[in-house]
């Protein structure tokens, strides 16, 4: 019995261990790093983990616009263990405000989603490092954006003839979210199908019986949403129609084309297919008028030619006047008698006269030069354009339905970031035209963040605030290196292309005299492999990633005199860009704390007191001293020395006293002396005051010395 209980306990413990391991493996790593994450959309707040989808935590949030600005707040479990954190780049969004630590307990950032309707799987992936040397890890914050489907007002009272095909337009803010099968559905009363046309949903009807009736068309969404019951659903709104099917003694011939075109001179010929009817006479010309009764205006002539296998009749149509389906029906007459009904548009044959491009902040231009990732507006002028469809594949484009006429249409166009062609043809009704967009790579001046400078203290961006003022380097400047971070030129959707630079280096000595100037004007820096356009750039002629200024300077940086300065100016090459170029300048001083120089002076009237003598000592005549002196630079005045020096050397007492008096003390001494001299003097001669001690070689005696002198500067 006891052994049975033990076995049960062991099995239970083992199962518990397996369950715990499985739980730990499936535990959300994001919630191990952050105790809470919140997204704010307008005035609404949503928390990560508020719902799960397919067994994983998600942050469900409702959006209104396809492009939505949201605020993200992250509350870490332990900020000290995070070290460095950054959001990984994604095509789904752009960063408006970088991640910043606020409020003492959370990070905050703002992002803009580009198209939430197209994003079925959206995540914010954060890369976290505990320290700079750490490889780091990625943690994923899974999102589930949704929008509640809704439709705008539509015409729910429909009148049509039996056999007639009628389209009802249903507008919706997010029409792309509705599922379109594009297949006919049949009921006892109607046939219907859903189609999408220019971003709108259309319901096509065919009446099978006559009379008044009510009819419902259910919609489904492609993206699930959270319904009023808090559950995920794909059920959309139900469209309700009240339909009147007129009996009509005339058979309605549905055409295969909604629109046909008329030549500019007022007459055109096309082929169309109509519903087959046994009463149609092949080879007979039917007059098409805009009134059922007599004296209608001649709009076209229809001549049936042959019966097709699809139960359609191929007809030749000659047009004479313009017509809109919304005006009224068209009637086919033979020998003055109305026999059939139909309806289609007769418009001018489309012709493009001009295509213009508009960028934000600029004027309309006929220059159709475009760039990868660019968004702009196109205006097409011509004739017969209201029923014409244009396309600009592989670009994304959308027609502006609020501004449409027969003479002009407008399109919003976005060039893909990864477009792989140099020309985009303009198609009109699927036919190629002579117009095309010319795709060019960006060549615009990028911020100088990609230029790094190293003069001996490590690399820094040339835009670093340390370079806003002159920098001082107390050691020998072995070289000044410019290194280009090519991977930071293009980032995300911010493209700048190849950079054409000039670098000027000037060396100015302590006397503010120009001693060397060199210009490097053939620098071409190409974006690196991280650029989304890297494989499309022409890298011929690109410079290396590093420039050493000593390769160009005649006066090398390591030979610069004390407090000489080198001024390095980096600028975009003029004439290469359409806008004004920018430049960045840094100034580096060869700073020194002290300097040793050799000085010759002629001390006179020095008071010399030997150790072996009593009294205050004797005055000497004009002597000669040669000293190696150490001077000190003033920290508050660039290149200026302090008024005192310390030196060591030789002094010849009474050198210029040529008297034969045996009492004249002529001797040579080894001396250590300090001197105080006038400030700000640039003269060759000055009059310092000396003080020090030394050793007389002949007298074999130590001495103190004090007094003035005449200094000669070499």
User: Could you tell me which residues come within 8 angstroms of residue 17 by beta carbon, excluding any fewer than 6 positions away?
Assistant: none
Would you say residue 5 lies in a domain?
no
- Residue 214 and residue 243 in contact, taking contact as beta carbons nearer than 8 Å: yes
Closest to 194 measured CA to CA, from 172, 217, 221, 164 = 217
The pLDDT, as a whole number, for residue 27 is 63
Based on the fold, state whether residues 614 and 657 are members of the same structural domain.
yes
Closest to 692 measured CA to CA, from 601, 593, 597, 587 = 601
Would you say residue 13 lies in a domain?
no
The pLDDT, as a whole number, for residue 271 is 92
Among 380, 411, 439, identify where a domain stops: 439
- Residue 354 and residue 366 in contact, taking contact as beta carbons nearer than 8 Å: yes
Based on the fold, state whether residues 103 and 32 are members of the same structural domain.
yes
Q: Which residue has the tokens 């001046």?
A: 445
- Residue 331 and residue 340 in contact, taking contact as beta carbons nearer than 8 Å: yes
- Residue 160 and residue 172 in contact, taking contact as beta carbons nearer than 8 Å: no
Based on the fold, state whether residues 108 and 125 are members of the same structural domain.
yes
Closest to 446 measured CA to CA, from 370, 484, 482, 498 = 498
* C-alpha pair distances (Å), 416 with each of 258, 371, 375: 32, 9, 9
Would you say residue 9 lies in a domain?
no
| Span of 31-40, 511-520, 698-707 with lowest mean pLDDT | 698-707
Based on the fold, state whether residues 610 and 697 are members of the same structural domain.
yes
- Residue 353 and residue 383 in contact, taking contact as beta carbons nearer than 8 Å: yes
Percent of residues, the chain, with pLDDT higher than 70? 88
| Dihedral class, residue 49 (left if φ above 0, else alpha if ψ from -120 to 50, else beta) | left
The answer on pLDDT for 10 being more than 70 is no
What is the three-state SS of 489-537? Answer: CCECCECCECEEEEEEEEEECCCCCEEEEEEEEEEEECCCCCCCCHHHC
Closest to 562 measured CA to CA, from 597, 530, 602, 531 = 597
20: its two tokens: 């715990």
- Residue 159 and residue 246 in contact, taking contact as beta carbons nearer than 8 Å: yes
The answer on pLDDT for 307 being more than 90 is yes
Tens-place pLDDT, residues 458-502: 888 998 888 888 888 888 889 999 999 998 898 777 899 999 999
The answer on pLDDT for 564 being more than 50 is yes
Among 124, 146, 168, identify where a domain stops: 146
Provide the edge-to-edge strand list for the sheet that holds 499-508. 471-473, 583-590, 565-572, 499-508, 514-525
Q: What is the CATH number of the domain that holds 683?
A: 2.40.160
**Max Cα distance, the chain (Å):** 159
Percent of residues, the chain, with pLDDT higher than 90? 26
DSSP state of 177: G
More confident residue, 238 or 618: 238
Based on the fold, state whether residues 268 and 231 are members of the same structural domain.
no
Q: Which residue has the tokens 């075109």?
A: 261
pTM of the predicted model over 0.85: no
Based on the fold, state whether residues 460 and 369 are members of the same structural domain.
no
254: its two tokens: 């549905």
Tens-place pLDDT, residues 291-301: 888 888 999 99
Dist. CA 65–CA 85, nearest whole Å: 29
Helix, strand, coil tally for the chain in percent (to 5): 10, 50, 40
| Span of 64-68, 611-615, 710-714 with lowest mean pLDDT | 710-714
Would you say residue 208 lies in a domain?
yes
Tens-place pLDDT, residues 189-221: 778 888 887 677 888 887 777 788 888 888 888
- Residue 108 and residue 99 in contact, taking contact as beta carbons nearer than 8 Å: yes
- Residue 410 and residue 387 in contact, taking contact as beta carbons nearer than 8 Å: no
User: Could you tell me which residues come within 8 angstroms of residue 134 by beta carbon, excluding any fewer than 6 positions away?
Assistant: 83
The pLDDT, as a whole number, for residue 294 is 83
C-alpha dihedral (552, 554, 556, 562), degrees to nearest 10: -140
More confident residue, 313 or 7: 313
The pLDDT, as a whole number, for residue 19 is 40
C-alpha dihedral (389, 396, 361, 487), degrees to nearest 10: -160
User: What is the pLDDT confidence band of residue 137, given thresholds at 50, 70 and 90?
Assistant: confident
For 9, the 3-state DSSP assignment is helix
- Residue 549 and residue 505 in contact, taking contact as beta carbons nearer than 8 Å: yes
For 550, the 3-state DSSP assignment is helix
Q: CA-based angle 382:388:422, to the nearest 5?
A: 80
User: Could you tell me which residues come within 8 angstroms of residue 575 by beta carbon, excluding any fewer than 6 positions away?
Assistant: none
DSSP state of 461: E
The pLDDT, as a whole number, for residue 21 is 40
Would you say residue 12 lies in a domain?
no
Based on the fold, state whether residues 31 and 139 are members of the same structural domain.
yes
Would you say residue 424 lies in a domain?
yes
- Residue 647 and residue 677 in contact, taking contact as beta carbons nearer than 8 Å: no
- Residue 77 and residue 35 in contact, taking contact as beta carbons nearer than 8 Å: yes
Tens-place pLDDT, residues 16-53: 444 444 333 346 788 888 988 999 998 899 999 878 88
Based on the fold, state whether residues 209 and 291 are members of the same structural domain.
no
Q: For the chain, how many structural domains are there in total? A: 6
The pLDDT, as a whole number, for residue 378 is 95
Based on the fold, state whether residues 37 and 96 are members of the same structural domain.
yes
Tens-place pLDDT, residues 364-412: 999 999 999 899 999 999 988 887 889 999 999 999 888 888 889 999 9
322: its two tokens: 């313009």
Tens-place pLDDT, residues 625-653: 888 877 766 666 665 677 778 888 888 87
Please state the length of the chain.
714
Tens-place pLDDT, residues 254-301: 999 888 888 765 567 889 999 998 889 999 999 999 988 888 899 999
Based on the fold, state whether residues 47 and 127 are members of the same structural domain.
yes
Dist. CA 174–CA 151, nearest whole Å: 9
Closest to 149 measured CA to CA, from 223, 68, 48 = 223
Among 194, 211, 246, identify where a domain stops: 246
Tens-place pLDDT, residues 335-370: 888 999 899 988 888 889 999 999 988 899 999 999
* C-alpha pair distances (Å), 191 with each of 167, 182, 210: 12, 12, 13
Average pLDDT, integer, range 53-57: 85
Based on the fold, state whether residues 115 and 187 are members of the same structural domain.
no
182: its two tokens: 């594009």
Q: What is the CATH number of the domain that holds 571?
A: 2.60.40
The pLDDT, as a whole number, for residue 510 is 82
The pLDDT, as a whole number, for residue 25 is 37
The pLDDT, as a whole number, for residue 480 is 93
Would you say residue 606 lies in a domain?
yes
The domain of 217 spans: 157-246
Q: Which residue has the tokens 């340390």?
A: 466
Would you say residue 11 lies in a domain?
no
Based on the fold, state whether residues 468 and 577 are members of the same structural domain.
yes
- Residue 549 and residue 480 in contact, taking contact as beta carbons nearer than 8 Å: yes
Dist. CA 184–CA 689, nearest whole Å: 113
Dist. CA 382–CA 297, nearest whole Å: 27
- Residue 600 and residue 625 in contact, taking contact as beta carbons nearer than 8 Å: yes
Average pLDDT, integer, range 675-690: 69
């Amino acid at each position: 019995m006891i052994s049975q209980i033990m076995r049960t306990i062991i099995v239970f413990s083992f199962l518990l261990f397996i369950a715990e391991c499985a739980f730990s493996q499936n535990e959300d790593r994001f919630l191990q790093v952050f105790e809470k994450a919140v997204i704010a959309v307008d005035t609404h707040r949503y928390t990560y983990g508020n719902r799960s989808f397919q067994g994983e935590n998600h942050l469900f949030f409702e959006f209104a616009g396809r492009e939505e600005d949201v605020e993200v707040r992250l509350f870490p479990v332990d900020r000290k263990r995070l070290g460095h954190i950054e959001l990984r780049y994604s095509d789904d969004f752009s960063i408006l405000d970088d991640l910043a630590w606020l409020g003492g307990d959370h990070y905050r950032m703002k992002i803009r989603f580009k198209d939430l309707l197209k994003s079925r799987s959206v995540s914010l992936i954060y890369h976290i490092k505990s320290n700079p040397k750490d490889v780091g890890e990625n943690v994923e914050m899974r999102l589930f954006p949704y929008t509640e489907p809704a439709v705008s007002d539509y015409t729910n009272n429909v009148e049509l003839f039996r056999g007639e095909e009628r389209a009802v337009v249903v507008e919706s803010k997010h029409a792309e979210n509705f599922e379109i099968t594009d297949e006919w559905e049949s009921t006892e009363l109607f046939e219907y199908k859903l189609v999408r046309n220019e971003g709108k949903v259309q319901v096509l009807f065919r009446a099978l019986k006559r009379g008044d009736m009510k009819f419902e068309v259910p919609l489904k969404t492609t993206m699930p949403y959270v319904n009023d019951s808090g559950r995920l659903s794909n059920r959309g709104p139900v469209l309700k129609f009240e339909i009147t099917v007129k009996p009509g003694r005339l058979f309605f011939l549905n055409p295969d084309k909604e629109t046909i075109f008329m030549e500019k001179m007022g007459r055109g010929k096309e082929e169309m297919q109509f519903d087959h009817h046994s009463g149609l006479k092949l080879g007979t010309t039917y007059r098409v008028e805009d009134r059922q009764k007599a004296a209608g205006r001649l709009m076209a002539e229809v001549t049936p030619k042959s019966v097709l296998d699809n139960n359609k009749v191929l007809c030749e149509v000659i047009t004479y006047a313009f017509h809109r389906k919304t005006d009224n029906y068209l009637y086919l007459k033979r020998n003055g008698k109305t026999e059939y009904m139909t309806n289609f548009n007769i418009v001018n044959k489309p012709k493009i006269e001009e295509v213009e491009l508009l960028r934000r902040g600029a004027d309309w231009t006929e220059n159709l030069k475009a760039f990868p990732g660019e968004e702009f507006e196109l205006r097409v002028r011509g004739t017969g354009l209201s029923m014409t469809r244009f396309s600009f594949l592989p670009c994304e484009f959308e027609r502006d339905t609020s501004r449409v006429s027969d003479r002009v249409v407008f399109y919003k166009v976005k060039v893909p970031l990864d477009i792989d062609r140099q020309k985009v043809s303009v198609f009109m009704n699927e036919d190629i035209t002579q117009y095309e967009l010319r795709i060019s790579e960006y060549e615009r001046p990028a911020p100088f963040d990609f230029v790094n400078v190293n003069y001996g203290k490590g690399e820094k961006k040339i835009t670093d605030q340390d370079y806003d003022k002159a920098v001082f380097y107390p050691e020998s400047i072995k070289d000044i290196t410019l290194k280009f971070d090519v991977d930071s030129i293009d980032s995300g959707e911010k493209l700048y292309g190849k950079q054409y630079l000039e670098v000027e280096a000037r060396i100015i000595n302590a006397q503010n005299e120009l001693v060397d100037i060199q210009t490097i004007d053939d620098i071409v820096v190409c974006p690196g492999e991280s650029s989304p356009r890297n494989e499309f750039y022409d890298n011929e002629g690109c410079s290396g990633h590093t420039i050493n200024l000593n390769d160009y300077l005649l006066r090398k940086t390591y030979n610069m005199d004390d407090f000489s300065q080198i001024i390095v100016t980096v600028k975009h090459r003029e004439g290469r860009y359409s806008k004004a170029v920018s430049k960045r300048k840094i100034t580096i001083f060869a700073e020194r704390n002290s300097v040793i120089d050799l000085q010759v002076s002629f001390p006179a009237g020095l008071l010399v007191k030997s150790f072996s003598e009593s009294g205050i000592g004797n005055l000497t005549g004009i002597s000669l001293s040669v000293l190696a002196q150490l001077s000190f630079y003033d920290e508050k005045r660039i290149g200026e020395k302090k008024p005192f020096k310390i030196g060591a050397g030789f002094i010849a007492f009474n050198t210029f006293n040529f008297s034969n008096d045996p009492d004249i003390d002529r001797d040579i001494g080894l001396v250590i002396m300090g001197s105080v001299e006038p400030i700000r003097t640039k003269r060759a001669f000055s009059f310092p005051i000396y003080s020090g001690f030394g050793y007389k070689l002949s007298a074999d005696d130590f001495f103190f010395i004090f007094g003035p002198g005449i200094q000669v500067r070499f």
